[in-house]
């Protein structure tokens, strides 16, 4: 997705769109066009007789303004 300027991050559960946008812009020195958030629900896992839960999480898809990109080392 990075070819289209979209990057996906796993974020804290209480994060909101404006907070994510500000953090990405400050951390990577890029301009963010749009932020989408998806809350991934927990999943049940079974080990022997025991049933447990894998925790859910939140992920953010961040679209950058054309011409900007994040360099990963």
Instruction: Write out the residue range of the structural domain in which residue 30 sits.
Output: 2-64
Residue 71 above 90 pLDDT? no
**Is 47 domain-assigned?**
yes
Number of domains within the chain: 1
pLDDT for 44: 95
**Is 48 domain-assigned?**
yes
pLDDT for 40: 94
**Is 70 domain-assigned?**
no
pLDDT for 1: 60
**Is 72 domain-assigned?**
no
**Is 73 domain-assigned?**
no
Report how far residue 31's alpha carbon sits from residue 71's, in angstroms, rounded to the nearest whole number: 14
Residue 17: HSE in the Cβ half-sphere, 13 Å Cα cutoff: 10
CATH code: domain of residue 31: 3.30.70.330
Span 12-64, pLDDT tens digits: 999 999 999 999 999 999 999 999 999 999 999 999 999 999 999 999 999 99
Report how far residue 49's alpha carbon sits from residue 40's, in angstroms, rounded to the nearest whole number: 25
pLDDT for 27: 95
* 24 burial type by CB count under 10 A (0-12 exposed, 13-18 middle, 19+ buried): buried
Q: In a 3-state reduction of DSSP, which class is residue 37?
A: strand
Long-range contacts, 49-52 (Cβ 8 Å, 24+): none
């Amino acid at each position: 997705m990075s070819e289209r300027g979209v990057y996906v991050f796993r974020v804290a559960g209480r994060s909101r769109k404006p907070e994510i946008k500000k953090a990405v812009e400050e951390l990577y020195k890029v301009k963010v066009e749009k932020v989408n958030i998806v809350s991934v629900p927990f999943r049940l896992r079974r080990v022997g007789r025991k049933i447990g839960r894998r925790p859910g999480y939140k992920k953010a898809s961040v679209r950058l303004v054309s011409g900007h990109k994040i360099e990963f080392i």
